[in-house]
Each structure stands twice: as structure tokens, then as C-alpha cells.
Chain A
Amino acid sequence: MKFSRLEYTPKDIVFGFSKKFLRYGIDLEVGNGLVVPEIKYFPRVEKNVMEEYKHITEQLLKRAVALGTESLQLETELTYLEMEDKKLVAELINLQKSMIERYAKEHGLHVGYRVTVADIRDFGKPRHDEESFNKMMEIFELASSNGADVLSIESEGGKELFNYSIIRQDLTGIVSSLGYLATFDMKRLWKNIVSIAKNKSILAGGDSACAFANTAMKIAGGLKDNMIPHSLASIVRVMSACRSLIAFEEGATGPGKDCAYENVYLKVITGCPMSMEGKSSAVAHSSLVGNIIAATCDLWSNEQVENIKLFGGYGPEVFLEILHYDTKLMNMAIAGGQQYCLRDLMIKSDKLLNPQAFVLSPDIVYEISKVIVGEKDELSRTVASAIKAIELMSNEEKLNLSKGEKRFIEMAKRKLEEIYSSPSQKVEKALEQYVGKVEKLRVKDYLEA
């Protein structure tokens, strides 16, 4: 289903409320006036995997009871190595779900459980590694049968061209990757995931452009790093929103995946609840958007933490406590009718410091989202939304932009407008030139998928 209008204005979008709020898992409500912590973790390498998951789940649920966290979501993000062993995957999901059920029953907790399947495909193989695609689908099935309430993925279709392009500031390559190649893969993937979720009456959560927009964010680095322009990372984020939206067009219902910072756009467009991460995910990576991204979240996540011992306990339980207090403050603001005041402080504290934060501000998201829903196809909306982002950045005098950033913005404007004049023609012509030059790029396999 193509979304043609926006569900929110910048004035009414806020954390904890979603027009299409969800009830799932064990009596968990998401987006109905409460922000819920979502905790994500991974086992220590040298330990037994099952023992580690048991240990992590036990400490998390104990800590939740100790803190009085009534609602929470756990997320297991499967690793490449775990994906090798289907039996292990089934057992570890089953184990965690039974522990969740026991604690929920004994202590009255409201809990959701998300499983994220790793994209293990080698895109350089014929038909984009059909064998791995099938294995991923089998694991989605296994996760659904063994206790997952929400299914997610950080899919990577188009990444081989994106990787080539991002370090060269090659906007044609980036557009061709996110606005063209990735769209074929997203449609195929999400048709299948939505069907699996529907068959088991669980939720198709959403996809993150982690491999694209978070890669750009990570390379751009901090304020003083000069790796790639922050304004480039910010338009990659906007273009990624056009790509991640496809999961919802194919029937995903949320809650959206935490590391998809583009979820602000998806919430404005779809009205579905979204998980987000920011200041409390500094354990996994640094960002310049730690507060602003919390302004519209429904679940609040830590991204990822290893099960290592810290003074305050093991990593996952320590980060659950951090998320507990983050969400408690947001929920207290909601209870006291002060959510808009807190939201505005979150936005104001980050918005003008950096272009990456700027494009996540609800007023800017709203303007760009209008462009996204107004365009006729995925490729056009990818280019048009980036042009709009450039225009808004250029027009904001108070936005912190270095000389180099301003130079890039001028160049990007010219380039994107040139592509927008005939997007399909420009992209198809460019792809012919990338084949053979970009390692593992198999354009035909996207089109025939």
C-alpha cells in the first residue's frame, strides 16, 4: 500500500503516542501513551551461547522486577555465526521466551520479544545467494514458531554499490543503490517476512537502513572529523527513509527497528509505532543526534551491549536500568501533560549543531515527508527528498555548517537536480558503468528477483 498523506504534523508528533499503536507479546502496549524500554544484548564470545542467553535473560528480568519496570521489550539480534545453526536459534529463542513468560506470570510484567535475523547473503553470488535467502526465511519461520513477537531485519540489498559510492561522495551511485537496487530487494524480502508474520499472528516490525545511513553516520564521525560531509550523511538518512518505508508499504506494522534513525519519517508517514535509539546507545556507537531522536520514539533502545561485567552489574542489566530511567522521565512528562515541553527541549538541544540532527527534527521531517508521499515512485521520491533536505539545510542560517559542508551542499544540489531531470534514465545509464567496476555488483539479479 502506498502512503499518500501524513499522519502527523510537527506539532502533534511526540514520544509515546502512535496513531496505530500495538498490543502484542504478553500484555504489552506500544504507542498508547507510554514509552517502553527495548534492551538488546549479545553474548561473550568465549562462553557457551545458550548459557550466555540464559544468564542475560535472567539478569534482565530480575533487574526489571528490582527497578519496577512494568513494561519492556527484549531483542535478540542473531549473529552470522548463530545463523549457521538452526537448532541453536530455535532453542535460544524458545529458552528466552519461556523465561519471559515465567517472569511475566510471577511478577506481572508486560513484555515483548523481538528477533532480528541477520542478512547473511553474499550479493556477489548468482541470484544474490538464493541459498542464504532461503535460510533467512527458514530462520524467520523458526523465530515465529519459537516465541518471537516481532520480526525485524537490517537488510543489505544495494549495499555493494553504496559502499563503493559513499567513500567517493558519488551521489549517482548512492541514489542508484538506495532509490533503485534496494527497492527491488526490499519488496521481495518484506513480502515474505509479512507473510510469515501473518501466518503466525505476530508482527512484521520493520527494516533498518543500518548498512547505509548508519554507515554514513559512523564514517562522518564527530564534529571535528573530516571524513565525509555530515550533510552527505544527512541526505543518506533522508534517502534511507524512502527505502525503509517499503517494509511498511508491503505490510509491516511496526514497531520499527531501533537503529533505523529514519523511523521519525516512517512514523510521520505511516502512524505506526517506532523504536529508536540515541544517547543511551553510545555503548554501541557515537552519534550527534542523541536527544533529538528520542523526541518521537515509542520504544527506546540501547542498540547493543555485550554481556560483560561492569561495577553496576552485567552490561545488559546496566543498560536496562539506563533505559528504565530515560523512559520513566518521558512517561512522567506524559502523565503530567508536559510531553511537548520535554520533546521540544530534546529537539532544541541537538537540531542546529549538525545537519544529521537537523534532518531528524519533526518540522524538517514533516516538510521532507510531504515530498516523499507526493512523488510517483521510489526512485523519484529518493532524489526529490534529498533535494528538499538540501534546500532546507541551505535556508537555515543558524545551522552549523563548515566551509567544506557548504561547498558539498552546493555540489550536491547541482548533481541531484541533474539526476531528478530524468531519474530512471540517469540511473540505468550509470548502472551500466558500475557493473564490472563495483565488486560483487549484479544488477540483473535485482531486477529479476
Chain B
Amino acid sequence: MSKEELLDAIRDSIVNLDFDKSKEYTLKALEAGATPQEIILKSIAQGMEIVGKKFEESEYFLSELIVAGEIGKEITKILEPYLKGAEMKKVGKVVIGTVRGDLHDIGKNIVAMMLEAAEFKVIDLGADVPPEKFVEAVKNENPDIVGMSALLTVTMVEMKNVIDALKEAGLREKVKVIIGGAAVTEDYAKSIGADGYGANAVEGVRVCKQWVKQK
């Protein structure tokens, strides 16, 4: 296969969600003289664009969008040694977690994975995260955005505690705050002083992308 054919084959293996094939073609493309930049632009980015379009047209599921994103990440890992230490460019940084007292993390995980697929650097604090841990992460990581999730009405009150703790630490103005999860609403987000609300993962990521674009 020629270099061009291999670049197409990587793209197609991303669209077909075939990790093994994508890895095989990536190694062959590098051997055939493709640069990492070519693979990123012509294979990964194009493949992700096709998968994204298929998702928008309801042909693919969100889970498939996530899998494609993970394949893209794995290919990027293969390319890292060839990038001569140059860091992959990220569009922004997000500190994310499920608030204290709430162990439900699947919605938060979906958002985190979609953010990574959208080229954000994600610092995932996990579930049952106390306000002080959010504050510490904002101090240490200097993110653009803080994302919080809660499934239960009994735990969503913790979101306000996190915002208050950020204010107390003098960090609130440095970050945008977005909240989501089954228990919360747009009105609730406004009432506690969050900057944004995601009714679902797609919406949440869209809001984050918009914020970093405006920066």
C-alpha cells in the first residue's frame, strides 16, 4: 500500500472502530514515510470528523463516538516518540468530578471522555469529591473550566459548596464553572452562581468548546 492509501486506511479503521487495524496501519504508514502530522491531520482528524457526522445523523451512537476518540488517542500515543517531545496541542483544560456524597460517576465519565476526544486536557478527580479537593486542583492545575456532576438531589447542594470554596480561595474568577447530572437544572445552575449547565454530555462539551473559543 502506498503512503496515501495507508493514511486512508487509518482513517477508515477509525470510522469502523477497529483499533487493531488502526494500529497496524499507523505503524506501516510511519514505515512508508508518513509524518506524525500527516497521520494526525489526514487520518485521525478526518476519521473523527466522519464519525462525528455519523453521530449527528443518528447513524452512530455516542458510545461509538467515544470509542473512535479512544482509538484516536491510542494512535497519538504511538506517534508521540516521533513528535520529538513536542507536546500535543490542547484546546483547554478542565478539572472535573462528582461532588461529595455522590458515588455516581458514569455521566461524569462520559463527559470526561468526550472532552478528551474534543482535545481538552482533563483532570478527573473521580467521585465523592470534597470542595477542598476541587480548590486544590484549581490551584495546582490552573484549568480553564471546572465541571461538577451530581445524580441526587441530596448531593447537588454540594455544588454550591464548591463554588463558595473557590470564592473563598480567590479562584472563582479564574475559571468557568459548568454543572450537570440528573438532579440539576439550568435554573439551579443559575441559582448557585455556575456559569453554565449541560443537560447532557453533548451539550456540556458544546458549552466548554464555546468558552475556550471565546478566550
Contact = CB atoms under 8 A, between A and B. Distances in A.
Contacts of B70: 168
Interface string A57-81: 0000000000000000000000111
B61 A229 contact: yes
Nearest to A42: B154
A219 to B, nearest CB: 7
Nearest to A163: B106
Q: Which 7 A-B pairs have the closest CB atoms?
A: A227-B62, A228-B63, A169-B63, A45-B154, A163-B106, A226-B58, A226-B61
Interface of B: 55, 58-64, 66-67, 70, 101, 103, 105-106, 109-110, 113, 126, 153-154, 157, 182
17 contacts: A42-B154, A166-B63, A167-B110, A167-B113, A168-B63, A168-B70, A169-B63, A226-B60, A227-B61, A227-B62, A229-B63, A232-B63, A306-B153, A403-B59, A404-B59, A408-B61, A439-B126
B127 to A, nearest CB: 10
Nearest to A229: B61
B208 to A, nearest CB: 18
Interface in A408-436: 408
A201 interface: no
Nearest to B54: A404
Nearest to B67: A168
B154 A81 contact: yes
B86 to A, nearest CB: 27
Interface of A: 42, 45, 79-81, 163, 166-169, 215, 218-219, 224, 226-229, 232, 306, 402-404, 408, 439
- State the majority secondary structure of interface residues on B: helix
Contacts of B101: 80-81
A218 to B, nearest CB: 8
Nearest to A228: B63
Contacts of A404: 58-61
Given A226-B61, A227-B62, A439-B126, A215 B55 contact: no
B168 to A, nearest CB: 23
A245 B53 CA distance: 42
A230 to B, nearest CB: 10
A228 B67 CA distance: 12
A158 B106 CA distance: 14
A232 to B, nearest CB: 8
B154 A167 contact: no
A169 B55 contact: no
Given A45-B153, A79-B154, A306-B153, A163 B105 contact: yes
A226 B58 CA distance: 6
Interface centre among A42, A168, A215, A229 (most CB of B within 10 A): A168
A273 to B, nearest CB: 30
A228 B62 contact: yes
